[in-house]
């Protein structure tokens, strides 16, 4: 196997990407064939299949290409999409079909999000990329820059961003229902971490899986059954972003959007010492942000994950000693709290230790919010269809890379802080560097040629 190493920064600048013989102009998406959108899908595991189903349910979509490194993922889709060409390597797909694709949907493990998306954008394609947008901070900034330069339609796969409950919470917070927000506490009991050491030895690669392509730009390593593929890669530093990168993006999204936050000033992760292989199993991450018009001057955000999340805090005590929802966020304001369960539940207003009925009359009268939609099928497809309609020039995306990159950067800074347990890291937004130089090595990395 070719072990040549490519610097990520060089690749992200375009120097190491496949040569492009025929580049579509940035406006090509709005002139798709017969007013329809031709989509290519990279990564067809559980999330990828869901993305494919939702995108293809739009009446104006034609699925023209399907790509996965595991033939077992592609096989069941042959009958459903008989006209789509099948690929194992997204680079080959783009080289052969660039003129026949309008948009690319990237649903791979995290470490391949940026390489596949950047290549698609280099070819002038609109991109829908699953969350977290990237595996490294440098990639998030590079993807945002590329999308802006080429004026491409982009959307990150944070589907709940388009759900009624979350949009309602945003409007309530911005209407001042609890005054300025002093802090947010968010949690998930998921456990995308491991204290196990890096496995030794190797196992036979399953038939149909191209292990080299699955690794992609990540460092070479032997295949081990029950690890990495399918499903466990989120636990591993080289491939995923832990629970914070998985559920944190969803649960952070609404508070981040509602409070008009940028990236944090400081980050501290209370967790076990790094092992160099897997993410910590329990994290308490504290962010401090510059204040906004919706927050107090000294605003902080605390994230908890793992089986014991969220632990005990006076601001997480519910009326009548009710149990907290399994996942969610609590806005702590000057005039009360707003609880936002995750997901498909309305936010709850709490004042002086008691629930207060939500008064939506003003919001409805202003036209800012409609009636409650409790149809999961409609809600689940909305974010995807918004992307398709934007590609056809009929809508705008609510989670473009300009937004998604900042949210992802914030999340990834907390992931990096896990390398320095109990130490406060200071982030300089202007230079995209930590004051603590030893942390800067984790902003970037290297790409393996494969």
Kindly state the percentage of the chain with pLDDT values over 90: 84
Give 7's strand partners. 446
Dihedrals φ, ψ of 391, to 5°?
A: -65, -30
Convert the pLDDT of each residue in 299-351 to its tens digit.
999 999 999 999 889 999 999 999 999 999 999 999 999 999 998 899 999 99
What three-state secondary structure class fits 109?
coil
pTM for this one?
0.93
Q: Residue range 157-178: average pLDDT?
A: 94
The confidence score (pLDDT) of residue 362 equals 77
pLDDT beyond 80 at 371? no
The confidence score (pLDDT) of residue 368 equals 75
pLDDT beyond 60 at 378? yes
Structure tokens at 405: 């990159």
What are the start-end ranges of the H helices in 207-366?
211-215, 242-258, 361-366
pLDDT beyond 90 at 88? yes
Q: What is the mean pLDDT of the chain?
A: 92
Residue 152 per-residue DSSP state:
-
Convert the pLDDT of each residue in 390-431 to its tens digit.
999 999 999 999 999 999 999 999 999 999 999 999 999 999
Domains observed in the chain: 35-158 (3.40.50.720), 159-194+222-373+398-440 (3.30.360.10)
pLDDT beyond 60 at 5? no
CA dist 45 and 51 (Å) reads 10
| Beta-carbon-side half-sphere exposure of residue 361 (alpha carbons within 13 Å) | 2
Beta-carbon contacts of 128 under 8 Å, excluding residues fewer than 6 positions away, are: 51, 55, 103, 104, 105, 106, 154, 155, 156, 157, 384, 387
Q: Residue range 30-58: average pLDDT?
A: 91
Closest CA to 411 of 50, 139, 195: 139
What three-state secondary structure class fits 440?
helix
- Residue 404 preceded by cis peptide, ω within 30: no
CA dist 231 and 235 (Å) reads 9
Structure tokens at 26: 């940035």
CA angle 108, 255, 52 (to 5 degrees): 25
**393, exposed or middle or buried, with CB in 10 Å at 0-12, 13-18, 19+?**
middle
Convert the pLDDT of each residue in 184-195 to its tens digit.
999 999 999 999
pLDDT beyond 60 at 27? no
pLDDT beyond 50 at 3? no
The confidence score (pLDDT) of residue 440 equals 98
């Amino acid at each position: 196997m070719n072990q040549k190493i490519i610097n990520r920064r060089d690749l992200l600048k375009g120097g190491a990407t496949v040569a492009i013989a025929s580049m579509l102009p940035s406006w090509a998406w709005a002139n798709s064939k017969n007013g329809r959108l031709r989509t290519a899908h990279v990564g067809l595991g559980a999330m990828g299949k869901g993305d494919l189903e939702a995108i293809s349910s739009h009446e104006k979509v034609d699925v023209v290409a399907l790509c996965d490194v595991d033939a077992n993922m592609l096989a069941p889709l042959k009958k459903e999409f008989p006209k789509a060409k099948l690929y194992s390597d997204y680079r080959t797909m783009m080289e052969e079909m660039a003129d026949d694709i309008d948009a690319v949907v990237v649903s791979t493990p995290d470490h391949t999000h940026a390489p596949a998306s950047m290549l698609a954008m280099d070819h002038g394609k609109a991109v829908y990329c699953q969350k977290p947008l990237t595996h490294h901070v440098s990639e998030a900034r590079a993807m945002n820059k590329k999308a802006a330069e080429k004026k491409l339609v982009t959307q990150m796969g944070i589907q709940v961003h388009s759900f009624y409950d979350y949009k309602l919470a945003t409007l309530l917070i911005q209407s001042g229902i609890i005054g300025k927000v002093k802090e947010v506490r968010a949690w998930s009991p998921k456990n995308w971490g491991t204290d196990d050491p890096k496995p030794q030895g190797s196992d036979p690669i399953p038939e149909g899986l191209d292990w080299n392509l699955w690794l992609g730009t990540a460092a070479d390593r032997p295949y081990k059954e029950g690890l990495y593929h399918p499903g466990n890669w989120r636990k591993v530093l080289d491939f995923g972003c832990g629970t914070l990168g998985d559920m944190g993006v969803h649960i952070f999204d609404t508070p981040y959007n509602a409070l008009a936050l940028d990236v944090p000033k400081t980050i501290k992760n209370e967790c076990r010492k790094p092992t160099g292989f897997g993410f910590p199993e329990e994290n308490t991450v504290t962010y401090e942000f510059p204040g906004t018009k919706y927050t107090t001057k000294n605003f902080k955000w605390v994230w908890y994950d793992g089986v014991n999340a969220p632990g005990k805090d006076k601001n997480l005590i519910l009326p009548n000693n009710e149990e907290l929802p399994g996942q969610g966020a609590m806005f702590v304001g000057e005039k009360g709290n707003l609880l936002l369960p995750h997901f498909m539940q309305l936010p709850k207003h709490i004042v002086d230790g008691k629930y207060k009925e939500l008064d939506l009359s003003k919001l409805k009268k202003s036209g800012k919010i409609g009636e409650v939609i409790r149809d999961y099928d409609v809600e689940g497809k909305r974010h995807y269809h918004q992307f398709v309609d934007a590609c056809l020039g009929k809508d705008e995306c609510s989670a473009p890379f300009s937004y998604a990159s900042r949210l992802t950067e914030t999340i990834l800074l907390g992931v990096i802080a896990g390398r320095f347990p109990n130490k406060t890291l200071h982030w300089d937004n202007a230079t995209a560097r930590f004051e603590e130089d030893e942390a800067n090595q984790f902003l970037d990395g290297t790409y393996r040629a494969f």
